[in-house]
Each structure stands twice: as structure tokens, then as C-alpha cells.
Amino acid sequence: MDNNTIYLNVKELQKREKREKIKSIMREVYAALEEKGYNSINQICGYLVSSDPTYITNHNNARALITQVEREDILEAITEEYIEKM
């Protein structure tokens, strides 16, 4: 195994870990919005389009969770997940 292979493996592992963190956060945010009776998809889309965190409830610390991750990273993870399932 050469240095490039090790670098690629580490980079791929970091990407997977980041993606799993985003998935976990999005599940928690979705659940918090559902618990409060919101249309979760509309609220998440509103946040992603506008960057206004008030689209996300404070319930169960959802707003703080979602703002831990860059919106662009969330959009990238959602797009990758969607494309993989096509």
C-alpha cells in the first residue's frame, strides 16, 4: 500500500463519517419538527434555501444541531443520497 492509497482511504473514511453525522443530525431535526407538528420537509427546505435558522424548531436542540453543519454539506449529502438511490 503506497502513500496515495493510505491518503485516499483516510479521505474516504472522513467523508463517510461526515455523511453519517449529517444523516444523524437530519434525522433528529426531522423528528423534532414532526413532534412539534410542523411540515418537516417544508421547514428543512426553507432553512436550506434561506439560511434562516428560525425555520428549525429549538425543540430537542434541533436548531443548534442543524447549524453545526454547513448548508452546502447538507445539500451535498442529500444530493449524493438521492443519486445513489436512483
**Grid coordinates belonging to 15:** 467523508
Angle between helices 71-84 and 3-35 (to 10 degrees): 100
Greater pLDDT, 69 or 2: 69
Domain count within the chain: 1
Average confidence (pLDDT) over 37-56: 98
What per-residue confidence (pLDDT) applies to 3?
Answer: 64
Is the Cβ–Cβ distance between 52 and 66 less than 8 Å?
no
Structural domain for 34, as ranges: 3-84
| Stated pTM of the model | 0.86
Confidence of residue 53 (pLDDT cuts 50, 70, 90): very high
The one-character DSSP state at 80 is: H
Q: Which three cell numbers stand for residue 18?
A: 461526515
Alpha carbon distance 62, 19 (integer Å): 18
Residue 10 banded pLDDT, cuts 50, 70, 90: confident
Provide mean pLDDT across the span 57-74.
98
